[in-house]
Amino acid sequence: MHSISSLRQTLGLTSANQVRNRIEAIKDLLIAHIRRGPNNQILLTDAGAELLRRLQELHDSGLTMTEASEILRASIYKKDAVEVPVSQRSLQIDTKPDQTDSLIAALREEVAFLRQRLLQLEEQRHAERTVDRDPPPWWAALREEIDAP
């Protein structure tokens, strides 16, 4: 079991608060690895200390603590995800060509509509810009007041 002070030395940090901040950043990953010792002292298992080491390595590479914790979290969840192998037979049974063809046709129609709408909006925006080509500068009204006799 690793205490906060031993983790501080292991991770090369200057204060115990830095260790606590790192624990807080990946608290959801460390729940199974955190224990309480005498006087409510926080203790981490070896696996928890390894997670903190990996987090510190990511942080030392130039990432922010939030970015490093998200990357660590994603890599752990990716490893934990179980891939269910799909046999060719079940793949053939689940696929219904008439449904996929109609879905593809509907998506193509929607893409064509969205392209048409985008062109209309771009033309409208271009027309608005040409009408209001060069508005007078904000100080033009002030200059007219000064130039008046």
What tokens were used for 3? 């205490």
Entry pTM: 0.52
C-alpha angle 64-33-54 in degrees, rounded to nearest 5: 30
Encode pLDDT of 59-115 as tens digits: 888 888 888 888 888 887 776 655 555 555 555 555 556 667 788 888 899 999 999
Q: Where are the beta strands (DSSP E) in the chain?
A: 2-3, 34-36, 42-44
The pair of three-digit structure tokens given for residue 31, joined into one six-digit string:
């729940």
Tokens, residue 38? 């005498």
Residues 32-74: pLDDT tens digits? 888 888 888 888 899 889 989 998 888 888 888 888 888 888 8
Alpha carbon 116 to chain centroid, angstroms: 32
